[in-house]
Amino acid sequence: MELDKILAISKKPGLYKLITQSRGAFIAESLLDKKRISINISNNVSVLSEIAIYTLGDEIPLKTVFSKIFDKENGNLTSTSPKSSKDDLEAYFFSVLSDYDEDRVYASDIKKVLSWYNLLNEHKILDFKTRTPDSE
């Protein structure tokens, strides 16, 4: 999985695949509708490989969180909708990452993680293999 080529762009829905980069801009393709856009370097752009989730111990890379969701769901989409209630989102995330920091990880963050996971999974960008407890 190449999360270093997947972008989250502030004020833009969904995720984007980095196509090319110039001195002052990015060309990115939406995973939602395949439209290409030019993003000024001054826009708030996050590369998914650089995002981590706060836990009570260390921060956990987003890739690891996606892997845990993939294992929980046996490679399928999340069983809890990203549009679920705050309590449902928190309960689901606790079942995936039991030591996440509830004071620093908000329901809106969980909603994004679940939405991103589902979008990446639908586009076959997640390449984890389902594991059984014996194979770990």
Write the pLDDT tens digit of every residue in 32-83. 999 999 998 888 999 999 999 999 999 999 999 999 999 999 999 999 999 9
Q: Residues 69, 78: contact at Cβ < 8 Å? A: yes
How far does Cα 40 stand from its chain's mean position? 22
Place of tokens 């639908």: 122
**Residues 69 and 112 grouped into a single domain:** yes
Q: CA dist 96 to 18, 21, 30, Å?
A: 28, 35, 28
**Residues 63 and 41 grouped into a single domain:** no
- Domain encompassing residue 36: 3-48
**Residues 23 and 68 grouped into a single domain:** no
CA dihedral 61, 3, 102, 13 (to 10 degrees): 170
Structure confidence at residue 127 (pLDDT): 75
CATH code of the domain containing 42: 2.30.30.730
What single-letter amino acid sits at 66? Answer: F
- Distance separating alpha carbons of residues 97 and 34, to the nearest angstrom: 32
What would the pLDDT profile of 101-132 be if each residue is shown by its tens digit? 999 999 999 999 999 999 999 998 887 764 44
- Distance separating alpha carbons of residues 128 and 1, to the nearest angstrom: 8
At residue 19, the 3 state secondary structure works out as strand
At residue 16, the 3 state secondary structure works out as strand
pTM value is 0.88
CATH code of the domain containing 68: 1.10.10.1650
